[in-house]
Structure 1
Amino acid sequence: MKKLLVKLSVLMILPVMLIGCSTKSGNDNEQSEKVNVMVSISPLKEFAERIGGDKIEVSTLVPENAEPHDIDFGPKDLEKLMKSQVFVYNGLGMEHWLENVEGQIDKDKVKMVDSSTGADVRVIDGKQDPHLWLSLREATVQSNNIKNALIEVDPENKDFYEENYNKFKDELDSLYNEYKDKFASKTQKYFMTSHAAFGYLCRDFGLTENSLHDIFGEGEVTAKKNAGAINYCKEKGITVIFSEGSETQKEAETIANEIGGKVEPIYSLETKVEGKSYIEAMRYNLETIYNSLK
């Protein structure tokens, strides 16, 4: 009888033990589980992956081939966001939909991370420039914010996150220092793009960008604007027009034809660059701009 009671007691206790070991509510995932991270745009995904490594699972709210400026945030997106433990967004107006849904997000369950916190933000015509990730210096700030958030929700892996962040920061600093010296050797430091996305990059290296569209890729390209761009290129000795995609290729070709120049691709990195890491894509951008200068 005693043996039977012992067996029954074990059978009753075992399921409780299994439940306690295998599940956690909300964000209290056990050490063996990965931290569920959602980011708003593609470059933040790589920043998070570089820091979080195999301790996190990262998904992107905006499809990696979609234009972030034009995204429409719906109920299904909110549902996906609410399943994450950490949500990293760019800030500075990039996620224009966020202010309409932020009140519906349970911040006790989802750690909200504004990656622009602490950044040296550019303001152009009263608008904040959201393209922080195109600055190697500001990418470090964004990555640091991600690192701090991961440590907050998963303090047991603090050393892991710190080490990965420092490795990534070293790569960013190395690339910055390499091109800081290279650009310093140039006397002509002007270039022309379709979309005014590269202001932070220009600030990093003492360059000047002119463009057909504003920082949000808006604005009609009129005959007057075309004429102004052509005159600017001739005045500054610009012979390469940079295009960020097929939608701006024709506009860039129009200018290039008038100045006897050529069009070359450049990456805004708002969407995933196939076959290139963030560091590789930024190196391509910097080298391509460098080679276009005199």
Structure 2
Amino acid sequence: MKKNFLIYLLLSFFLLTMGGCGTTNKEAQQNADGQKLNVVVSFDAIRAITEAVGGDHVNVQNIIPSGSEPHNFEPTAQNLATLQNAKLFIYNGFSLEQSWLDKSLSTVSDKIDKKELTVVEASKGATPLQLDEKADNGTSLPDPHIWLSIEGGELEAENIKNALIQVDPANKDDYEKNYQNLKNDMDQLKQEYAAKFANSKRKDFVTGHAAFGYLARDFGLQQNSVSDALLSGEPSAKKLKELTDYCKENHVTTIFVEDMVSPKVSETLANEVNAKAVKIYTLEDIPDGMDYIAVLKYDLDKIYESLN
């Protein structure tokens, strides 16, 4: 969906007058005292990684509110107001934010030009998986879900660590330490589940939303899905028939239902093939009481269970 660019020009004026509405008085005072670094991120997964690396030195806010589906999101003036107080803005990349990123950054172009706001693409340097879906110009689109991969998550964490050090060099040692702790935890997960998946009875799993391609690549697995990676429309009858036949022929016992996607089609498929529907998380909305590592481990556990 496209907005009239005039709206974004008007937002520029609005945000200049509304600059503080995205931050509480307490947070504003902390930043004024140098106690917290104001960081704005595009959505929850990037927030979780940034908080893990930034620790006590950062105050992190989302543009896309928790609980909102990021694929088709269009920010409001209130969402964008948080950028006015930020020193660092981190987005995922791989086209996830393409519908609004450039237009939104144009509202704070003066801060960027004055180097008062640093903008970082968390996925920079990664090799994207290419989707069957095409952009308007006919080129292939990258799969944006790199944060669900352990290897991809480590790369994003390193990019975020480097950005935090660039903006806040006084706390470099803490950022390095926090990053290394996170990387160690992720390396342990990778080693544990590489061994488990190597001995799995099967190597394929079925999801409602094709969000787990990078995770599958990490461990040599195959993902089959009802909906495409960009949630770009309802699955066709032909697609559903092929997937139903696949599940029956391969005795699939679990259909994963993502937390941010309507479960209706996946649950219908599960009933059709006599499988159980199991919730899995895309980290587009972090469950209460869980952090980035806990969600990754939960997902890996459920996928492993489905293969045995």
Give your verdict on TM over 0.5. Answer: yes
Moved over 4 A (4+): none
Match of 2:255 in 1: 241
Match of 1:103 in 2: 106
Q: 1:177 aligns with which of 191, 212, 237?
A: 191
Question: Which whole-Å deviations, capped at 9, do the CAs of 1:86-144 have from their partners, x for residues lacking one?
Answer: 00100111112002233332211111010011112111121101101100111011111
Match of 2:160 in 1: 146
Does residue 120 (structure 1) correspond to residue 119 (structure 2)? The answer is no
Contact 2:267 2:277 in 1 (8 A): yes
- How much does 1:75 deviate? 2.9
Question: Which whole-Å deviations, capped at 9, do the CAs of 1:14-66 have from their partners, x for residues lacking one?
Answer: xxxxxxxxxxxxxxx77743111111110111111111111111111111111
- How much does 1:247 deviate? 4.6
Deviates further, 85-94 or 254-263: 254-263
Match of 1:285 in 2: 299
Question: Which whole-Å deviations, capped at 9, do the CAs of 1:228-273 have from their partners, x for residues lacking one?
Answer: 1111112222111110137532211221122111111111111121
Q: 2:86 aligns with which of 63, 84, 87?
A: 84
Change in CA separation of 1:30 and 1:275 when aligned onto 2, cut-off 3 Å: closer
Larger CA Rg, structure 1 vs 2: 1
Contact 2:189 2:297 in 1 (8 A): yes
Instruction: State the alpha-carbon separation in 2 of the partners of residues 177 and 144 from structure 1.
Output: 19
Alignment of 1:1-294 (within 5 A): 32-95=34-97, 96-105=99-108, 106-107=111-112, 108-125=115-132, 126-245=140-259, 247-294=261-308
Q: What SS does the corresponding residue of 1:69 show, helix, strand or coil?
A: coil
| Fraction of identical pairs, as percent | 42
- Superposition RMSD on alpha carbons, in Å? 1.6
Match of 1:11 in 2: none
Contiguous gaps of at least 5 residues in structure 2: 1-30, 133-139
Contact 1:190 1:236 in 2 (8 A): no
Instruction: State the alpha-carbon separation in 2 of the partners of residues 257 and 200 from structure 1.
Output: 28
Question: Which whole-Å deviations, capped at 9, do the CAs of 1:188-215 have from their partners, x for residues lacking one?
Answer: 1111111000000000011101111111
Contiguous gaps of at least 5 residues in structure 1: 1-28
Match of 1:8 in 2: none
Instruction: State the alpha-carbon separation in 2 of the partners of residues 157 and 31 from structure 1.
Output: 15
Contact 1:120 1:138 in 2 (8 A): no
